[in-house]
Amino acid sequence: MKRSQILFSTLLFFLLIGGCGYSQKKPELALDKDGVKVYLTKFDTTAFKEYRAVMTVNANIDTIVKQLVDVKNLKKWNYKTRKSELLKKTSDTSWIFYMTHHLGWPIQDRDHVSKVTLTTNENERIITILPENRLLKEKPGYVRLTNFKGFWYLKKVSNTQTLVVQQIYGNPGGNIPAFMVNMVITKGPFDTFKELRKRVENLNKK
Protein backbone atom coordinates (compact mmCIF):
# COMPACT_ATOMS: atom_id res chain seq x y z
CA MET A 1 0.00 0.00 0.00
CA LYS A 2 1.31 3.47 -0.91
CA ARG A 3 2.29 5.86 1.87
CA SER A 4 -0.47 8.29 0.84
CA GLN A 5 -3.06 5.51 1.04
CA ILE A 6 -1.85 4.54 4.52
CA LEU A 7 -2.05 8.13 5.74
CA PHE A 8 -5.51 8.54 4.22
CA SER A 9 -6.77 5.30 5.82
CA THR A 10 -5.32 6.35 9.17
CA LEU A 11 -7.05 9.73 8.99
CA LEU A 12 -10.38 8.11 8.16
CA PHE A 13 -9.99 5.59 10.99
CA PHE A 14 -9.44 8.29 13.59
CA LEU A 15 -12.33 10.35 12.23
CA LEU A 16 -14.70 7.40 12.39
CA ILE A 17 -13.78 6.37 15.92
CA GLY A 18 -13.00 9.82 17.26
CA GLY A 19 -16.55 10.99 17.69
CA CYS A 20 -16.66 14.10 19.85
CA GLY A 21 -13.82 12.91 22.04
CA TYR A 22 -16.02 11.20 24.61
CA SER A 23 -16.59 7.54 25.41
CA GLN A 24 -19.19 6.36 22.92
CA LYS A 25 -21.51 3.48 22.16
CA LYS A 26 -22.15 1.71 18.88
CA PRO A 27 -24.05 3.78 16.28
CA GLU A 28 -27.71 2.77 15.90
CA LEU A 29 -29.79 3.11 12.74
CA ALA A 30 -32.40 5.80 13.42
CA LEU A 31 -33.74 6.50 9.90
CA ASP A 32 -33.77 4.56 6.64
CA LYS A 33 -35.79 6.39 3.99
CA ASP A 34 -35.51 7.29 0.29
CA GLY A 35 -32.02 5.85 0.00
CA VAL A 36 -30.69 7.79 3.00
CA LYS A 37 -29.63 6.12 6.26
CA VAL A 38 -28.95 8.09 9.43
CA TYR A 39 -27.18 6.49 12.40
CA LEU A 40 -27.04 8.04 15.88
CA THR A 41 -24.36 7.57 18.50
CA LYS A 42 -24.80 8.18 22.24
CA PHE A 43 -21.95 9.33 24.48
CA ASP A 44 -21.40 8.74 28.17
CA THR A 45 -20.52 12.30 29.15
CA THR A 46 -22.73 14.46 26.93
CA ALA A 47 -26.46 14.34 26.28
CA PHE A 48 -26.13 15.36 22.65
CA LYS A 49 -25.90 12.64 20.02
CA GLU A 50 -23.67 12.40 16.96
CA TYR A 51 -25.14 11.51 13.58
CA ARG A 52 -23.73 9.69 10.58
CA ALA A 53 -25.68 9.94 7.32
CA VAL A 54 -25.02 7.62 4.37
CA MET A 55 -26.25 7.43 0.77
CA THR A 56 -25.10 6.48 -2.71
CA VAL A 57 -25.72 8.98 -5.50
CA ASN A 58 -25.55 8.84 -9.28
CA ALA A 59 -22.88 11.49 -9.67
CA ASN A 60 -19.14 11.74 -10.17
CA ILE A 61 -17.08 12.07 -6.98
CA ASP A 62 -15.49 15.37 -8.01
CA THR A 63 -18.87 16.86 -8.92
CA ILE A 64 -19.89 16.29 -5.30
CA VAL A 65 -16.65 17.68 -3.88
CA LYS A 66 -17.15 20.91 -5.84
CA GLN A 67 -20.58 21.36 -4.26
CA LEU A 68 -19.32 20.66 -0.75
CA VAL A 69 -16.60 23.31 -0.93
CA ASP A 70 -18.65 25.86 -2.92
CA VAL A 71 -19.40 27.90 0.19
CA LYS A 72 -21.42 30.61 -1.58
CA ASN A 73 -24.02 28.06 -2.64
CA LEU A 74 -24.19 25.89 0.51
CA LYS A 75 -27.20 27.90 1.66
CA LYS A 76 -29.14 26.62 -1.36
CA TRP A 77 -29.18 23.01 -0.17
CA ASN A 78 -27.77 22.73 3.38
CA TYR A 79 -30.49 22.38 6.02
CA LYS A 80 -31.57 25.65 7.71
CA THR A 81 -28.56 27.56 6.38
CA ARG A 82 -29.41 31.23 5.83
CA LYS A 83 -25.96 32.59 4.94
CA SER A 84 -22.74 30.91 3.73
CA GLU A 85 -19.61 32.82 2.78
CA LEU A 86 -15.85 32.47 2.48
CA LEU A 87 -13.82 34.30 5.12
CA LYS A 88 -10.40 33.13 4.00
CA LYS A 89 -8.72 30.72 1.59
CA THR A 90 -5.68 29.33 3.39
CA SER A 91 -4.56 27.03 0.56
CA ASP A 92 -5.92 25.22 -2.50
CA THR A 93 -7.37 22.59 -0.15
CA SER A 94 -8.23 24.58 2.97
CA TRP A 95 -10.77 27.32 3.63
CA ILE A 96 -12.44 29.22 6.47
CA PHE A 97 -16.24 29.29 6.12
CA TYR A 98 -18.79 31.45 7.93
CA MET A 99 -22.39 30.21 8.08
CA THR A 100 -25.61 31.20 9.81
CA HIS A 101 -28.60 28.97 10.53
CA HIS A 102 -32.20 30.08 10.98
CA LEU A 103 -33.85 27.57 13.31
CA GLY A 104 -37.20 29.32 13.69
CA TRP A 105 -38.96 30.98 16.61
CA PRO A 106 -38.49 30.75 19.57
CA ILE A 107 -34.96 29.37 19.03
CA GLN A 108 -32.28 31.99 18.46
CA ASP A 109 -30.33 31.78 15.21
CA ARG A 110 -26.91 30.12 15.28
CA ASP A 111 -23.69 30.90 13.46
CA HIS A 112 -20.29 29.26 13.19
CA VAL A 113 -16.84 29.70 11.72
CA SER A 114 -15.32 26.50 10.36
CA LYS A 115 -11.96 25.41 9.02
CA VAL A 116 -12.70 23.13 6.08
CA THR A 117 -9.90 20.92 4.75
CA LEU A 118 -9.93 18.61 1.72
CA THR A 119 -7.77 15.46 1.67
CA THR A 120 -7.62 13.45 -1.55
CA ASN A 121 -6.82 9.84 -2.34
CA GLU A 122 -7.16 8.02 -5.66
CA ASN A 123 -10.78 6.93 -5.17
CA GLU A 124 -11.68 8.76 -1.94
CA ARG A 125 -12.06 12.26 -0.56
CA ILE A 126 -12.30 13.49 3.05
CA ILE A 127 -13.47 16.97 3.97
CA THR A 128 -12.92 17.74 7.66
CA ILE A 129 -14.85 20.46 9.51
CA LEU A 130 -13.53 22.01 12.72
CA PRO A 131 -14.29 25.26 14.61
CA GLU A 132 -12.08 28.26 13.85
CA ASN A 133 -13.29 31.30 15.79
CA ARG A 134 -10.21 33.53 15.82
CA LEU A 135 -11.08 35.32 12.57
CA LEU A 136 -14.51 36.62 13.52
CA LYS A 137 -15.93 38.01 16.74
CA GLU A 138 -19.32 36.84 17.93
CA LYS A 139 -22.20 38.78 16.41
CA PRO A 140 -25.27 40.11 18.23
CA GLY A 141 -28.42 38.14 17.54
CA TYR A 142 -26.61 34.82 17.09
CA VAL A 143 -25.45 32.02 19.36
CA ARG A 144 -21.97 31.06 18.20
CA LEU A 145 -21.41 27.31 17.77
CA THR A 146 -17.99 26.45 19.17
CA ASN A 147 -18.24 22.79 20.19
CA PHE A 148 -18.53 20.73 17.02
CA LYS A 149 -16.55 18.55 14.63
CA GLY A 150 -17.31 16.48 11.61
CA PHE A 151 -16.38 15.34 8.13
CA TRP A 152 -17.61 14.30 4.72
CA TYR A 153 -16.27 11.04 3.30
CA LEU A 154 -16.70 10.25 -0.39
CA LYS A 155 -15.78 6.99 -2.08
CA LYS A 156 -15.85 6.41 -5.82
CA VAL A 157 -18.10 3.47 -6.72
CA SER A 158 -17.81 4.11 -10.47
CA ASN A 159 -17.31 7.10 -12.77
CA THR A 160 -20.96 8.00 -12.28
CA GLN A 161 -21.72 6.74 -8.76
CA THR A 162 -20.38 7.79 -5.35
CA LEU A 163 -20.84 6.74 -1.74
CA VAL A 164 -21.45 9.81 0.45
CA VAL A 165 -21.03 9.85 4.24
CA GLN A 166 -21.39 12.80 6.59
CA GLN A 167 -20.62 12.51 10.30
CA ILE A 168 -21.22 15.44 12.67
CA TYR A 169 -21.23 16.04 16.40
CA GLY A 170 -22.34 19.44 17.65
CA ASN A 171 -23.51 21.13 20.81
CA PRO A 172 -26.00 23.85 19.74
CA GLY A 173 -25.20 26.03 22.74
CA GLY A 174 -27.70 28.35 24.37
CA ASN A 175 -30.52 26.84 26.39
CA ILE A 176 -31.92 24.22 24.01
CA PRO A 177 -32.55 20.99 25.96
CA ALA A 178 -30.62 18.03 24.57
CA PHE A 179 -33.74 15.85 24.36
CA MET A 180 -35.34 18.36 21.97
CA VAL A 181 -32.27 18.36 19.73
CA ASN A 182 -32.08 14.57 19.76
CA MET A 183 -35.77 14.25 18.84
CA VAL A 184 -35.24 16.03 15.51
CA ILE A 185 -31.57 15.28 14.82
CA THR A 186 -32.29 13.01 11.84
CA LYS A 187 -34.27 15.69 9.95
CA GLY A 188 -31.28 17.93 9.20
CA PRO A 189 -29.04 15.34 7.53
CA PHE A 190 -31.99 13.69 5.78
CA ASP A 191 -33.16 16.94 4.18
CA THR A 192 -29.58 17.98 3.39
CA PHE A 193 -28.82 14.68 1.69
CA LYS A 194 -31.99 14.79 -0.41
CA GLU A 195 -31.19 18.30 -1.63
CA LEU A 196 -27.54 17.46 -2.26
CA ARG A 197 -28.50 14.34 -4.23
CA LYS A 198 -30.96 16.29 -6.36
CA ARG A 199 -28.37 18.97 -7.04
CA VAL A 200 -25.43 16.73 -8.00
CA GLU A 201 -27.49 14.26 -10.02
CA ASN A 202 -28.93 17.13 -12.06
CA LEU A 203 -25.42 18.49 -12.62
CA ASN A 204 -24.22 15.03 -13.63
CA LYS A 205 -26.81 14.94 -16.42
CA LYS A 206 -25.55 18.12 -18.05
pLDDT at 173: 85
- Separation of alpha carbons 97 and 90, rounded Å: 11
Structural domain contains residue 184: yes
- Separation of alpha carbons 101 and 115, rounded Å: 17
Contact by Cβ (8 Å): 42, 49 = yes
Domain boundaries, position 195: 29-204
Question: Per residue in 84-108, pLDDT tens?
Answer: 999 999 999 999 999 999 977 778 9
Contact by Cβ (8 Å): 94, 121 = no
pLDDT at 63: 95
Q: The CATH number of the domain where 161 resides is what?
A: 3.30.530.20
What are the two backbone dihedrals, phi and then psi, of residue 191, each rounded to the nearest 5 degrees?
Answer: -65, -40
pLDDT at 71: 96
Structural domain contains residue 22: no
Domain count, the chain: 1
Q: 47-80 burial by CB neighbour count: b if 16+ within 10 A, else e?
A: ebbbbbbbbebebbbebbbebbbebeebbebbeb
User: Which candidate, 32, 31, 53, 9, places its Cα nearest to that of 168?
Assistant: 53
One-letter-per-residue 3-state SS of 20-80: CCCCECCCEEEEEECCEEEEEECECCCCCCEEEEEEEECCCHHHHHHHHCCHHHHHHCCCC
- Sequence-ordered list of residues with C-beta below 8 angstroms from that of 47, at least 6 positions apart, any chain: 178, 179, 182
Q: Which residue ranges in the chain fall short of pLDDT 70? A: 1-24, 206
Structural domain contains residue 5: no
Structural domain contains residue 9: no
Structural domain contains residue 150: yes
Structural domain contains residue 75: yes
pLDDT at 8: 62
